[in-house]
Amino acid sequence: MLSTLASASSPVTAAPPAPLLEVRDLRVHFFVREGVVRAVDGVDFRVNPGETLGIVGESGSGKTVSSMSIMRLVPPPARNVGGQILFEGEDLLAKTPDEMEALRGRRIAMIFQNPATSLNPIYSIGAQLGEILRWHLKLSRAEADARVVELLTLVGISDPATRLRQFPHELSGGMKQRVGIARALLCNPSLVLADEPTTALDVTIQAQILELLADLQARLKMSMVLVTHDMGVVARMAHRITVMYAGRVCESADAATIFNAPQHPYTRALLESMPRIDQSYTGTKRQPLPTIAGRPPNLLNPPPGCRFHDRCPEASAECRRLLPLETTIAPGHSVSCLKRGSEGIAA
């Protein structure tokens, strides 16, 4: 009786929400003439409803390939050779091409890196965006045009009715990127993948686009994966951050932890290489901008052990021999480093 009363009076702890997207042990290899490039080699991350996950790292770390894999858009000679991509509980890698077509643009959408190449030069803006609505939502042409005008207005494009008849070459770089954002949002997707959405833009337009994305993410309650090499961008945009290096995850945590208490030497090196406003890099009292020594490994023949060991100031003999596994060191904080308690396997 007492145990029954105690059980009845105990507070019920709500289970954490299921992730909208969960990537498990994802492996994407490029089969080229010289051999096999392990571009993504056992990557795990998740995206919760309504949050923004930032994926950061140097060029060639596997960020874009990971995001393109979610859409099943990695081009030959790349192939998904292992792992799972669970979206709303369903494995995208097990879906047929027709099933993926029904998802792309409807439930999952992408903002591509270069708007100049992601928009078709021979179709007007209205034709390109309207086709998505007619395909997924079965709208009439008039209904599709009205929805496109609504979205172009939402992303801050002036005189949207006129823009419907214009072609991509008639728009500036910033306007093309806004069109790309509008295209991604047409069908109110649950998840938006943003692959370096500000790389091709000047600094002023970059700030406008980031402010727009943050505002839309909050207003529409959508989840976002933001792929970038710019730590300043993720500091402003992301709730959680995954740091990648040479096709593997180095560290994952909430944004505050990554910036205030990074544990992996590569994460710290990325942060230290950012210019600081309180230091001078010109003039008589200038200080050299810190850089990460060496270069990323050749993924055709990755080195044994930790892939960062030949650039790491803390590397030891075991780092050159054992590949560290991702290990949780605190709630919501994982790291792949032998010096931080990770287990290692021979590789």
Write down the pLDDT at residue 12: 47
The residue-averaged pLDDT of 285-309 equals 87
pLDDT tens string 300-329: 998 899 999 999 999 999 999 999 999 999
Write down the pLDDT at residue 279: 67
Q: What's the rounded Cα separation, in Å, for the pair 244 and 93?
A: 22
| pLDDT higher than 60, residue 143 | yes
Q: What's the rounded Cα separation, in Å, for the pair 190 and 108?
A: 6
Write down the pLDDT at residue 264: 96
Handedness of CA 72, 308, 298, 345 (dihedral sign): negative
The residue-averaged pLDDT of 104-132 equals 93
Q: What's the rounded Cα separation, in Å, for the pair 195 and 225?
A: 8
Bridge partners of residue 77, in order along the sequence: none
Bridge partners of residue 344, in order along the sequence: 324
Q: How confident is the model at residue 86 (pLDDT cuts 50, 70, 90)?
A: very high
pLDDT tens string 237-278: 999 999 999 999 999 999 999 999 999 999 999 998 887 776
Q: How many residues does the chain have?
A: 347
Higher per-residue confidence, 23 vs 117: 23
Q: What's the rounded Cα separation, in Å, for the pair 110 and 20?
A: 16
Q: What's the rounded Cα separation, in Å, for the pair 258 and 243?
A: 9
Cβ–Cβ < 8 Å for 314, 335 = no
| pLDDT higher than 80, residue 8 | no
| pLDDT higher than 60, residue 9 | no
Coil/strand/helix, residue 196: coil
Whether the ω angle into residue 77 lies within 30 degrees of 0, i.e. cis, is yes
pLDDT tens string 192-237: 999 988 876 777 888 888 888 888 888 888 999 999 988 888 998 9
Q: What's the rounded Cα separation, in Å, for the pair 338 and 345?
A: 10
Q: What's the rounded Cα separation, in Å, for the pair 319 and 329?
A: 19
- Kindly report the average pLDDT of the chain as a whole number: 89
Write down the pLDDT at residue 4: 39
Q: How many angstroms separate the Cα of 224 from the Cα of each of 23, 24, 38, 220, 267?
A: 14, 18, 25, 11, 22
Q: What's the rounded Cα separation, in Å, for the pair 343 and 322?
A: 9
Residue recorded with tokens 């994802």: 26
Write down the pLDDT at residue 201: 74
| pLDDT higher than 70, residue 280 | no
304 membership: H or E segment, kind and range:
none
Whole-model pTM?
0.90
Residue recorded with tokens 């976002």: 224
Q: What's the rounded Cα separation, in Å, for the pair 268 and 314?
A: 12
Q: How confident is the model at residue 16 (pLDDT cuts 50, 70, 90)?
A: low
Higher per-residue confidence, 3 vs 97: 97
Q: How many angstroms separate the Cα of 117 from the Cα of each of 66, 177, 200?
A: 20, 11, 11
Q: Where are the alpha helices (DSSP H) in the chain?
A: 2-9, 63-70, 97-103, 115-118, 125-136, 141-154, 160-163, 173-185, 203-220, 231-237, 255-260, 265-272
Residue recorded with tokens 């050779």: 81
pLDDT tens string 36-72: 999 999 999 999 999 999 999 999 999 999 999 999 9
| pLDDT higher than 50, residue 7 | no
Handedness of CA 265, 307, 332, 190 (dihedral sign): positive
pLDDT tens string 149-188: 999 998 889 999 999 999 999 999 889 989 999 999 999 9
